[in-house]
Structure 1
Amino acid sequence: MNHKPKPVHLSVYNTLADWETGHATAHLARAGYPIRTAGPTRDPVTSIGGLRIQPDLALDDVRPEDSSLLILPGADLWDTSDDLAPFARKAREFLDAGVPVAAICGATAGLAREGLLDDGDHTSAVSFYLAATGYKGGDRYVDADAVTDGNLVTAGPTEPVAFAREIFRLLGVYEGELLDAWYRLFHDSDAEAYAVLQGAAE
C-alpha cells in the first residue's frame, strides 16, 4: 500500500467470542491496518475465554471517518441483555457514512434488532436464530458460510476464516487467486495454497 490505511476498529466487550476475529485482525495488521479496540468504556473487559482486554477507545469516541472498518464479534451479552445495543447503533452510523461493518455470530442478531438486516442479504448461525429477534429480513437470509452485501459482512460462529475472507475481499487486502489461496490454506489446510501465497510474497 502506498498510504497508511485508517485503523480497523475491533469492538470488545464482556463475554466476546475470542476465536471469531483472530484471522481477520492478524492478517489486517500484517497488511498495514492499525487495529484499535473499542469497548463500552475504556474499562477492561473479559472475553469468554478469560482474556482481559484493555480497550484503546470508548465506543463513543469511535468515528466512521477515522476508520476503515468496524468489527463486531459475537458475545453472550448480545442475547442476554441490551448492553451491546450501542454497538449496533454504532454499526448503523458506520453504514450510513459508507464505512464497512463486519458482524459475526451473536452480533448479527444485534444488527437484526437494530433493523440493519431487513433489506440486504445476510447470514448468521441459522435462520431461526435471527427470526427470533422479530426482524423483517428473513427473506434475505442466505444459507452460506459468510455473506457480503454492500458494506456489510455477516457470518456464523463456526466461520471465522470465511468471515476474514469476506473482510479481505471488501478491503482489497487479498484478491482473486491470492484470496482463494489464503482461504484454502487456513480453511482447508491445502498445502498447495501455501506455495501460491509464498510465491506472491516473494
Structure 2
Amino acid sequence: MSTKPVHLAVYDTLADWETGHATAYLARGGYAVRTVGPAREHVRSIGGLSVRPDLALDELRPEDSSLLILPGADLWDAGDELAPFARTAREFLDAGVPVAAICGATAGLAREGLLDDRRHTSAVSFYLAATGYKGGELYVDADAVTDGTLVTAGPTEPVAFAREVLGLLGVFEGEVLDAWFRLYHDSDPAAYAVLQQAGAR
C-alpha cells in the first residue's frame, strides 16, 4: 500500500456528507487524509463546519498523493472559483494519480473536458449536459462509476462513492468490499459477520 496521503479538497459550501464514508475508511486502512483548500484560510461547509486546510492548492503535487477527492459544493455551479481544482484534477489524471469526484465536482470536471473520453456518472445526465461538455455518450446511469483512475458519483451515493474509492486503492477487495457496501448501503445484517471475520468493521 502507498504511504502517500490522500488529499481531500475543502472549499466554502462543500457538501460535508458526501465524503465521510470514504475518508473514514481510508484512514482506517492506513492512509493519512490531508485537506487542501484554495488557501490555508478556514472554509465553511454547507453544514456549517469550519475547516482549516492542511495545505493550499498551489502546494499540492500529484507525485505526493495517492488520491485527490473532490466533494460537491454550491460553488461548482456559481462561477469559476473552483476551476483551479478541476485543473489540478487534470494534472493528477495526466500523472496517473487517481481522482474521485462526487456531485457538483463532476460538473467541474466536465467543464474542464475530463469527462469527454471517460465513462462517468453524476446526479443526472442533463445536469452535466448543461455544462456543454462532449462526453454525453459516455454517461452511465449508475450509483458510481470507475474508469481507469477516475471515480465519479452523484450526490445521493456517498456509500457507493466510497466503495469505488476503497476498491480502487485496495483498502477492501472482493467479498469484503461487497459486504462493506451491503452493510452501509443496504443495512444487510449478514454483511456484518463477513466484515467481523475479516477484521474490517
- Provide the TM-score with structure 2 as the length reference: 0.98
Q: Which residue of 2 aligns with 1:32?
A: 30
Q: Which residue of 2 aligns with 1:23?
A: 21
Deviations 1:46-65 (A, max 9, x none): 00000000000000101110
Query: Residue 126 of structure 1: CA displacement?
Result: 0.1
Alignment of 1:12-161 (within 5 A): 12-161=10-159
Query: Residue 22 of structure 1: CA displacement?
Result: 0.1
Amino acid paired to 1:200:
A
Amino acid paired to 1:170:
L
Counterpart-to-counterpart distance in 2, 1:119 and 1:31: 31
Amino acid paired to 1:106:
G
Query: Residue 81 of structure 1: CA displacement?
Result: 1.4
Match of 1:184, SS?
helix
Q: How many residues end up aligned between the 2 structures?
A: 200
Counterpart-to-counterpart distance in 2, 1:201 and 1:182: 11
Which residues of structure 2 form unaligned runs of 5+? none
Deviations 1:18-50 (A, max 9, x none): 100000000000011000000000000000000
Q: Which residue of 2 aligns with 1:171?
A: 169
Match of 2:17, SS?
helix
Query: Residue 7 of structure 1: CA displacement?
Result: 0.2
Match of 1:133, SS?
coil
Counterpart-to-counterpart distance in 1, 2:21 and 2:91: 25
Query: Residue 5 of structure 1: CA displacement?
Result: 1.8
Q: Percent identity?
A: 81
Query: Residue 143 of structure 1: CA displacement?
Result: 0.3
RMSD: 0.9
Amino acid paired to 1:137:
G
Match of 1:18, SS?
coil
- Provide the TM-score with structure 1 as the length reference: 0.98
Amino acid paired to 2:158:
P
Match of 2:90, SS?
helix
Counterpart-to-counterpart distance in 2, 1:48 and 1:196: 35
Amino acid paired to 1:14:
D
Structure 1 consecutive aligned stretches of length 4 or more whose deviation exceeds 6 Å:
none
Amino acid paired to 2:135:
G
